[in-house]
Amino acid sequence: MKKQISVKLFLIHWFFLVIMIILGIFCYELFFPPYYDLIKNAQIKNAYLDIKDLDLANLDDYSIFSDYEEEGLTFVLADQDMDPIYTTRSNSEYSVYLNVQMKLSEFSKTPEIIERNSKQKEVTKMRVIFSQDGINYYIVIKDTVHGSARTKIIEKFLIIIFAIIFGFGSFAMLLLSKHFTAPIVKLTNIAENIANSNFEERAEENGTYTEINRLAKSLNRISEQLAHSMEQVEESRDWQLRQNVRQERMEKMRKDFIANASHELKTPLAVISSQTEMLALVGKDEQDYYLTSIQEEIDKIASLVSRLLDTTVLEHHMENMLEKTLNMKEVMEYIIMKYDGLAKKKNVHMESFLADDCIVYGDREYIEQAVNNYMMNAFEHTALRGSIRTTLRQDGKNIRVGIYNTGKQIPINEMKHIWTGFYSKSQKSSESLSHAGLGLYIVQNVVTMHNGKYGVENLPEGVEFWFSIPAAEQNNQ
């Protein structure tokens, strides 16, 4: 059963108070009588020693008696003729008769404390025969049960007892408070961890006290909500960083692309300019030839501009890619199946080696376009009865796609240029425009936008184009 800590603390305080009262009564009953006797015995002995120093035959200073009487003692002094020398009671003769003459048998020359008798009013007493100058004196020193002096001793005793009990009780309460506050201290530490963005530790929700449990549940809920919010903020920040990196890459590639396209436009424009000049110099019969040549160059420019616009649209769309988890084996199987007819038509042997569990996070449409461009490039450069081999495998923290085709190898000095839009190895010729392509340039854009890498390798009897993008576990967590 759950308890309320306020109720338990209330009960403990009352329990502590009752225990203090019971212990006080117990200590009073057990320890006060010997404590009281100890004090009174010392007082009686001190009083007797002081009386011995007095000249009892010529006693005229009674102040010493009054000091002890204030402490609760009474005195009866008589000489050997039973004449009173000093008595606390006003009726001195009667006091001598009652305390000395009637109890001569109880007197001793040895000063000893007579143990108290609970049935009598006297608590402690001394009856002693003291000799001075050859005269015997009878001295009776007693303590009575009642009186303000006894009350003061009781108060002092109780103060000491309760001070001791309070000390031990405070120590016990300190231990109990540590026990009670342990879950609160733990909650405080968890709260400090939350303030330091550490949301791993959870508070115990099924403890002894309902208040602590409610606080623990609230703290855990706050921790979960903050952790979720922090994850969202972190994901948003990572996404924004990736977008910024992509934007920078796209901007660089766009500038490179425009520079290449501008370079390619120079050739047909130069041809048109020269052909136009020739029109003014030749006769009508030869003008048709130059007009036809000009028209061909204009068609090339139009085709180039059209592809430039297509690429610009593609780059714009890639800035808003729809990324999700993809199984690359399914993607590759789907693409390979589409090229089965073309392979049969060109009499090309196709084989594939696709690994399982190759999961990535990306836009399927653009990844398929990149693979399609590699496949079309492979078919374009594979002769009849050649071979094309597709591979898919896990490469460390990345998923690698490779397309190999038999055929001529690529010169080393041209490998870094083939990814540039509109590049061909016969770029300086006027016929280069008919071979200008954007396939590898698009692959470069798609892979870069997926934070991946791309490349080409010359292998025995052919060439392999490849790209790799981060596996989903590393890219999307």
Higher pLDDT, 412 or 3: 412
Report how far residue 62's alpha carbon sits from residue 132's, in angstroms, rounded to the nearest whole number.
18
* DSSP result, 272-327: HHHHHHHHTTS-HHHHHHHHHHHHHHHHHHHHHHHHHHHHHHHHHHHTT---EEEE
Q: Which residues of 79-106 are buried (b: 16+ CB within 10 A; e: fewer)?
A: beeeebbbbbeeebeebbeebbeeeeee
The pLDDT value recorded for residue 462 is 93
Question: Dihedral, CA atoms, 384, 387, 388, 389, nearest 10 degrees?
Answer: 170
Contact 123, 145 (CB under 8 A): yes
* DSSP result, 51-82: HHTS-GGG----HHHHHHHHTTEEEEEEETT-
The pLDDT value recorded for residue 245 is 74
Q: Is 5 helix (H, G, I), strand (E, B) or coil?
A: helix
Does residue 264 sit within a domain?
no
The last residue of one of the domains, among 158, 177, 197, is 158
Does residue 164 sit within a domain?
no
pLDDT confidence tier of residue 191, bands split at 50, 70 and 90: confident
The pLDDT value recorded for residue 121 is 46
The pLDDT value recorded for residue 330 is 94
Checking if the pLDDT of 477 tops 60, the result is no
List all residues 6 or more positions away from 28 whose beta carbon is below 8 Å from its beta carbon. Answer: 157, 158, 161
Contact 362, 398 (CB under 8 A): no
**Phi, psi at 443, each rounded to 5°:** -60, -45
Checking if the pLDDT of 109 tops 50, the result is yes
Q: Is 131 helix (H, G, I), strand (E, B) or coil?
A: strand
Which of 282-286, 315-319, 431-435 holds the top average pLDDT? 282-286
pLDDT confidence tier of residue 475, bands split at 50, 70 and 90: very low
Number of structural domains found in the chain: 2
CA angle, corner 323, sides to 457 and 332, nearest 5?
45
When pLDDT is averaged across residues 310-332 and rounded to a whole number, the result is 74
The pLDDT value recorded for residue 230 is 78
Structure tokens at 445: 């854009």
Does residue 390 sit within a domain?
yes
Does residue 370 sit within a domain?
yes
* DSSP result, 419-471: TSTT--TTTTSTTGGGG---HHHHHHHHHHHTT-EEEEEEETTEEEEEEEEEB
Structure tokens at 436: 């200008």
List pLDDT tens digits, range 431-457.
333 334 567 888 888 898 888 999 999
List pLDDT tens digits, range 293-310.
777 777 767 766 665 655
Lowest mean pLDDT across 187-201, 251-265, 422-436: 422-436
Mean pLDDT of the chain: 79
Does residue 104 sit within a domain?
yes
Does residue 285 sit within a domain?
no
The pLDDT value recorded for residue 180 is 67
List all residues 6 or more positions away from 340 whose beta carbon is below 8 Å from its beta carbon. Answer: 350
- Per the DSSP assignment, residues forming a β-bridge with 77 are 86, 139
pLDDT confidence tier of residue 257, bands split at 50, 70 and 90: low
CATH number of the domain that 366 lies in? 3.30.565.10
Does residue 333 sit within a domain?
yes
Checking if the pLDDT of 45 tops 80, the result is yes
Q: Is 233 helix (H, G, I), strand (E, B) or coil?
A: helix
Lowest mean pLDDT across 133-147, 325-339, 381-395: 133-147
Domain carrying residue 41: 5-158
Report how far residue 380's alpha carbon sits from residue 374's, in angstroms, rounded to the nearest whole number.
10
Checking if the pLDDT of 333 tops 90, the result is yes
Report how far residue 470's alpha carbon sits from residue 451's, in angstroms, rounded to the nearest whole number.
7
The pLDDT value recorded for residue 386 is 92
CA distance readout (Å), 302 to 115, 194, 434? 135, 63, 12
Checking if the pLDDT of 122 tops 80, the result is no
Neighbour-count burial of 5, counting CB atoms closer than 10 A to its CB (0-12 exposed, 13-18 middle, 19+ buried): middle
Kindly report the number of other CB atoms within 10 A of residue 298's CB atom: 14
Report how far residue 233's alpha carbon sits from residue 385's, in angstroms, rounded to the nearest whole number.
55
Report how far residue 98's alpha carbon sits from residue 95's, in angstroms, rounded to the nearest whole number.
5
Q: Is 361 helix (H, G, I), strand (E, B) or coil?
A: strand
The last residue of one of the domains, among 158, 186, 216, is 158
When pLDDT is averaged across residues 111-139 and rounded to a whole number, the result is 78
Checking if the pLDDT of 340 tops 90, the result is no
CA distance readout (Å), 267 to 104, 279, 300, 476? 154, 19, 10, 46
List pLDDT tens digits, range 395-442.
999 999 999 999 999 998 888 878 876 554 444 333 333 334 567 888
One-letter amino acid of 346? K
Q: What percent of the chain has pLDDT over 90?
A: 23
Report how far residue 315's alpha carbon sits from residue 308's, in angstroms, rounded to the nearest whole number.
11
pLDDT confidence tier of residue 48, bands split at 50, 70 and 90: very high
Report how far residue 185's alpha carbon sits from residue 183's, in angstroms, rounded to the nearest whole number.
5
Contact 38, 246 (CB under 8 A): no
Contact 436, 424 (CB under 8 A): yes
When pLDDT is averaged across residues 132-147 and rounded to a whole number, the result is 84
- Per the DSSP assignment, residues forming a β-bridge with 467 are 401, 454
When pLDDT is averaged across residues 115-125 and rounded to a whole number, the result is 58
Checking if the pLDDT of 145 tops 70, the result is no
Checking if the pLDDT of 358 tops 90, the result is yes
pLDDT confidence tier of residue 248, bands split at 50, 70 and 90: confident
**Phi, psi at 143, each rounded to 5°:** -120, 135
Q: Is 129 helix (H, G, I), strand (E, B) or coil?
A: strand
The pLDDT value recorded for residue 300 is 67
When pLDDT is averaged across residues 11-39 and rounded to a whole number, the result is 79
The pLDDT value recorded for residue 467 is 96
The overall pTM is greater than 0.85: no
The last residue of one of the domains, among 158, 176, 207, is 158
Contact 387, 407 (CB under 8 A): no
The pLDDT value recorded for residue 246 is 66
The pLDDT value recorded for residue 465 is 96
Does residue 127 sit within a domain?
yes
